[in-house]
Amino acid sequence: MPKTDFGPLKLARLSIFQGCLGCLAVIFAGMLNRVMISELAFPALLVGGGLAFEQLMAPSRVLFGNISDSWPIQGRRRTPYIWLGSAGFCLMAALSIPLIFITENALSGDNWLPKFTCSIALCGLFALYGLAISLASTPYLALVIDLTTEKERPRAVGVIWAMLTVGIIVGAIAISNSMGSLDGVKDPAILEPALLNFMQKVAIIIFALTVFACWGIEPKEGNKLQKEKDLPRIIGLKKAWQLVKSSNQIIIFFTFLILYTLGLFLQDPILESYGAEVFNMPISKTTLLNAYWGSGTLLGLLIAGIWITPRLGKLSTARMGCWMIMGSLLLLIGAGISQDTNGLFIVMGIFGLSAGIGTNSALSLMLDLTLPEVAGTFVGIWGLAQALSRAMGKVFGGGLLDIGRIISGPESPFIAFTFVFALESFLMVLAILVLGKLSINRFKQDTNSQLQTLIMADMD
């Protein structure tokens, strides 16, 4: 299909969808983390484990991508699936509120069956939310590729990634402005209607923006996949795993991504609770922590992409980002010692800046460690590493906090949180050590011959 005129206005409109994903992510995960752990006294392991099911649905992206390629609806391959997935995750977000309070009522009772049933239902809802996200986001990225030329794509990806961070900031600010009246409120009878009303409005607005973002952008009669885009599917999952195991460099980078992402996101499910329990911050203030983090991340991505990475190189910038993240985690512990709220916000800005620098270089390395002939396969592998480690971060972050509470006792929440932050710092040190063994040239030498062997074997 010939590329259409995809100017700045169309790109800006299409990027609204990514901003909506970022906004809903911070509202759905960040706010509900805080409410379930601090206001409703859910076990942190249940909260983290439940939210991890969203990431565990990431492998479904391959299936949904193939469906959108093969089964157009009304002559369009991408837009209907984007809208269908958006309707699904907006519905799941709205349904989460009543289910959370039903679960809270079950957990407060003595009967184990309602506790077990509601916990499973909560995990199932988060899994459906993750499936809907995959259903919407995979055809969305395919649509961006369909509509842009190779020269246009770097600009498109840059704008879309920035909009994701902007959406996170907007979501955090929206929670702070809308939930200020609930500061200090722990009564479920008051919390439930207020949160349900807020989430319903958010779901309606986000779905409307998603429809607007994609309306009329995709030409009718979806394009046929080019032969080079069919090649990654020829290899198949089994052969792709053989390719992963064939090169030591692939395993090294896969391990780095897991350690790096875990070290970055173990604090994700407990951050707002840290502000609530150690700093005695109200809900309207703890949600702003994500805004500072997001602002710092956006700045770090831009600074690294424009200035740091071109001058220092990808590997050096990645190491610098890891060291900065580790230092930020130690500053996070220091802020808890002084219980300085203003200092906590400053540290979150520094943490976001460090995360942006590290993430920019990690994404750049992912592009270098991708063979053009099987780009889809390798992007899937690196995406699997990130999704797996983010899911583990949600589970282990809450679980480690529970272990920390056992070690410290109920009167010392700071020690429990410090236990998690210290383990994150240690993971960053391991990530730096693993990164030192990475060689892009060795990767290319190791994989090319094995790649040709696998392709020929699969085509016979």
Spatial contact of 340 and 300, defined as CB atoms under 8 Å apart:
no
Query: What is the model's pLDDT at position 408?
Result: 81
Residue that terminates a domain, selected from 224, 246, 261: 224
395-289-35 Cα angle (round to 5): 55
In terms of domains, do 284 and 406 share one? yes
What is the C-alpha to C-alpha distance for residues 292 and 275, in angstroms, rounded to an integer? 13
In terms of domains, do 159 and 236 share one? no
In terms of domains, do 264 and 377 share one? yes
What is the C-alpha to C-alpha distance for residues 167 and 36, in angstroms, rounded to an integer? 23
Return the closest-CA partner of residue 235 out of 458, 428, 412, 8: 458
Q: Where in the sequence is the domain holding 453, given as residue range(s)?
A: 226-460
Beta bridge partners of 76: 73
433-414-184 Cα angle (round to 5): 130
Query: What is the model's pLDDT at position 389?
Result: 82
Query: What is the model's pLDDT at position 238?
Result: 60
Query: What is the model's pLDDT at position 88?
Result: 94
How many CB atoms lie under 10 A from the CB of residue 9?
Answer: 8
Residue that terminates a domain, selected from 193, 224, 255: 224
- Copy the structure tokens of residue 315: 């590997």
Q: What residue type is assigned to position 387 of the chain?
A: A
Query: What is the model's pLDDT at position 455?
Result: 60
Provide the number of structural domains found in the chain: 2
What is the C-alpha to C-alpha distance for residues 257 and 260, in angstroms, rounded to an integer? 5
In terms of domains, do 151 and 269 share one? no
What is the C-alpha to C-alpha distance for residues 99 and 121, in angstroms, rounded to an integer? 8
Q: What are phi and psi of 393, to 5 degrees?
A: -60, -40
Low-confidence ranges of the chain (pLDDT < 50): 1-4, 154, 222-237, 375-376
Across 388-414, b (16+ Cβ under 10 Å) vs e yields bbbbbbbbbbbbbbebbbeebeeeebb
In terms of domains, do 188 and 284 share one? no
Q: How far is CA 453 from the centre of its chain?
A: 35
What is the C-alpha to C-alpha distance for residues 201 and 75, in angstroms, rounded to an integer? 32
In terms of domains, do 237 and 161 share one? no
Q: What residue type is assigned to position 27 of the chain?
A: I
Query: What's the pTM value of the predicted model, to 2 decimals?
Result: 0.67
For the chain, the straight-line distance linking the first and the last C-alpha, in angstroms and rounded, comes to: 30
In terms of domains, do 216 and 264 share one? no
Spatial contact of 298 and 166, defined as CB atoms under 8 Å apart:
yes
What is the C-alpha to C-alpha distance for residues 360 and 43, in angstroms, rounded to an integer? 34
- Copy the structure tokens of residue 53: 């099911």
Length of the chain: 460
Return the closest-CA partner of residue 39 out of 266, 265, 284: 284
Residue that terminates a domain, selected from 203, 224, 245: 224
In terms of domains, do 292 and 195 share one? no
Q: What are phi and psi of 288, to 5 degrees?
A: -70, -15
Spatial contact of 352 and 344, defined as CB atoms under 8 Å apart:
no
What is the C-alpha to C-alpha distance for residues 399 and 402, in angstroms, rounded to an integer? 5
Query: What is the model's pLDDT at position 158?
Result: 59
Query: What is the model's pLDDT at position 234?
Result: 46
Return the closest-CA partner of residue 172 out of 349, 329, 363, 331: 349
What is the C-alpha to C-alpha distance for residues 370 and 437, in angstroms, rounded to an integer? 18
In terms of domains, do 266 and 402 share one? yes
What is the C-alpha to C-alpha distance for residues 368 and 438, in angstroms, rounded to an integer? 12
How many CB atoms lie under 10 A from the CB of residue 56?
Answer: 19
In terms of domains, do 220 and 328 share one? no
Query: The domain that contains 263 carries what CATH number?
Result: 1.20.1250.20
In terms of domains, do 177 and 38 share one? yes
In terms of domains, do 191 and 216 share one? yes
Q: CA separation (Å) from 170 to 174, 212, 341?
A: 6, 18, 21
